[in-house]
Structure 1
Amino acid sequence: MTALRIGTRASLLATTQTGLVADLIRERLGREVEIVEITTEGDVSRAPLATMGGTGVFVNALREALLVDEVDVVVHSLKDLPTGPAAGIALAAVPPREDPRDVVVARDGLTLGELPAGSRVGTGSPRRVAQLEALGLGLEIAGIRGNVDTRIGKVASGDYDAVVLARAGLARLGRVDEATEVLDPLQVLPAPGQGALAVECRESDPDLVTALGALDDAHTRAAVTAERAVLATLEAGCSAPLGALAEVVEAEDGEELWIRAVALSTDGALSVRRSASGPVADAVALGIRLASAMLDDGAAELMSAPVRKQQA
């Protein structure tokens, strides 16, 4: 049997994540794999993601390689996926999720609350910018792009006092000990789908779709489905200040899906926060219900409002 060709971005984090999926394929499917590196628009351009259209910049080239049969499977960070369906492509598996929370890597082992007012904190995410501003710590929030090494290096060099990153990426790279604080979702909610991976293949290969289903984690799939339903209903992308986190919890009558979300003005001054719970099997309906309540509270107008003050 020929090896499965797995497409991935070429960054260290992307190839590490793809390697984890490759190991699962070898273990559960008994197939050998060949990893194929593909360059995406997001890898080439150094512009802020929001100015590049945000959603899809790390995804489209991988999907194109899949559709023209250059690869058989592609692996993405699930938070990068557009919420709409992609013609001819199946989301075949969502493996078990890493810890989805954000972390701080700061100088001198400091936490956000210990940084002096005016400290320079790096993030390229409007979601993080708005939630950090909402904490009212008097920090200077500055844009930053690049891989994990680049971002942490900006702290080591003194260009920044701290950076905010996804804990999942540090964990997968074996660098989680470098985090000086894990941010409580009560303060900073992660991006929808953060910490999860997406394994896609062609819809026209139903045998492979079925086989890759062995990699799927039902609890992770339900959680990210609800989060992405919130994202889709609010018509938000990665340039919107929106956070959402769902998890499967034990309730009196068995398992239940619980989700919370926040939409903010770009400066963090105003926010709409909601939570909801429901059956695990109704993940889409739960996300839509939560987002609809947020729309009733003015979430869409909030996220699209002009910036109230200059962000560095």
Structure 2
Amino acid sequence: MKLRLGTRASELARTQSGMVARDIEAAAAARGIDLTVELVHITTEGDVNRASLVGLSQTGVFVNALRDALLADECDLLVHSLKDIPVEQPAEIELAAVPPREDVRDALCTLGAGIDDLPAGALVGTGSPRRAAQVLALRPDLRVEGIRGNVDTRLGKLHDGFDAVVLAAAGLSRLGRLDDATELFAPEAMVPAPGQGALSIEIRPDADPEWADVVRSLDDADTRAAVIAERAVLQVLEAGCAAPVAAHATVDGATLTLHARVVNTAGTLALNETASGPAAQAASVGRRIGHTLLGRGAGRLMGGTP
């Protein structure tokens, strides 16, 4: 049996998808099923549009083309970085598995200096408004500019006028390049994006149960509960990945603890909320925090009001 796994063609996307493909093949072999997974490269608007993605990313620019390919039977399953997926899951597509999460932290990459050692006025590059706002909250004397491109392109900015770039530690780790990180921010200092470090595997609900159940077996209950809680915050706030909204949940036994943060774009004001509850009620915990943040004025912060 051969499965076609749809993925973006970037090095990181291919690396992540290749990891999942090998895990699926191993899980199938453990069940006595002869199964191979081949990668199918799908081009997305975000791969060909070199403009800023801050507006486009709100509609899932890296997701829609892949999902269209799945529904058109050009592939059998998809792998995404979960933080890129819109919070509303389409009825015609099943989120079959959320494998165990990678490092959730953000990584500062420089030519040697840590965040506290960068000179005043140093230029920091990031494509994420959430990271930009939190960098400015930590160091209001720094300058932040948006950047795009793959990991190599972004790291190359260090030799092209930038003093630092901020990337996801998970991506560096999966590429075997975590040594390129000068400093890993504690999640309390720079709260990650909802779903950061997690992957999602999507299939059609009517997929052949013989292989679909193999895919579903890769699901990690604790990771799924954590990302459900984090994304519930986004859903209540009606925010996409372009908004400076951060959320990080951990699961200890049956208890889930969630920390969410909303920062204005200047990094001068931040709202923080933390709550705990049963992991089995992860969405409820996330919604509760989301409504509390709304009541405290999160809407105005997301709109950039000082």
TM-score per shorter chain, which class? over 0.9
Q: Which runs of 5+ in 2 are unaligned?
A: 30-34
The SS at the match of 1:112 is coil
Describe the SS at the equivalent of 1:54. Answer: helix
Name the residue aligned to 1:74. 78
39-48 or 205-214, larger mean C-alpha shift: 205-214
Counterpart residue identity of residue 173, structure 1: L
The Cα offsets for residues 274-295 of structure 1, whole Å up to 9 and x where unpaired, read as 0001111001111001111111
Return the offset for 1:66: 0.3
Matched, 1:188 2:187: no
Q: Is the 8 A contact 1:88 1:204 kept in 2?
A: no
1:60 aligned residue: 64
Answer yes or no: is the 8 Å Cα contact 1:90–1:209 preserved in 2.
Answer: no
CA distance 1:40–1:101, shift in 2 (3 Å): same
Whole-angstrom distance in 2 between the partners of 1:59 and 1:153: 26
Residue of structure 2 equivalent to 1:140: 143
Deviation string 1:188-219 (CA, Å, 9 cap, x unpaired) is 11110000000000012261443311110111
Given the alignment, which residue of 247, 264, 283 partners 1:244?
247
- Does 2:129 correspond to 1:130? no
* Contact 1:255 1:280 survives alignment (8 Å): yes
Q: In 1, are the aligned partners of 2:254 and 2:280 still within 8 Å (CA)?
A: no
Structure 1 position 169 matched with structure 2 position 171? yes
Paired residues of 2:24 and 2:214 also in contact (CA < 8 A): no
Alpha-carbon shift at residue 296 of structure 1 (Å) = 1.1
Matches within 5 A, 1:89-100: 89-100=93-104
Q: 1:304 to 1:206 in 2, by over 3 A?
A: farther
- The answer on whether the counterparts of 2:107 and 2:185 sit within 8 Å (CA) in structure 1 is yes
Q: Which of residues 154, 161, 179 in structure 1 aligns to 2:181?
A: 179
**Residue matched to 1:230:** 233
What residue is the counterpart of 2:264 in the other structure? 265
The yes-or-no answer on 1:87 pairing with 2:91 is yes
Q: Secondary structure at the match of 1:212?
A: helix
**One-letter identity of the residue aligned with 1:23:** R
Structure 2 counterpart of 1:201: 203
How far off its partner does 1:53 sit? 4.4
State the TM-score, normalizing by the size of structure 1. 0.93
* Ranges in structure 1 where 5+ consecutive residues have no aligned partner: none
Aligned residue pairs, count:
300
Task: Provide the aligned C-alpha RMSD in A.
Answer: 1.2
Percent identical pairs in the alignment equals: 55
Q: 2:117 aligns with which of 111, 114, 118?
A: 114
Structure 1 residue identity aligned to 2:172: L
Contact kept in structure 1, 2:140 and 2:267, CA below 8 Å: no
Q: CA offset at residue 52 of structure 1?
A: 2.0
Q: What secondary structure, in the 3-state scheme, does the structure 2 residue paired with 1:144 have?
A: coil
Q: CA deviation at 1:255?
A: 2.9
CA distance in 1, matches of 2:280, 2:254: 10
Q: Distance in 2 between matches of 1:206 and 1:268?
A: 49
CA distance in 1, matches of 2:104, 2:296: 26
Measure, in 2, the Cα distance between the counterparts of 1:209 and 1:87: 17
User: Matches of 2:115 and 2:140 in 1, distance apart?
Assistant: 8
User: Any idea what the Cα deviations from partners look like across 1:254-276, whole Å, max 9, x if unmatched?
Assistant: 53101101011111111110000
- Runs (4+) of structure 1 exceeding 4 A deviation are none
Separation in 2 of the partners of 1:136 and 1:113? 8
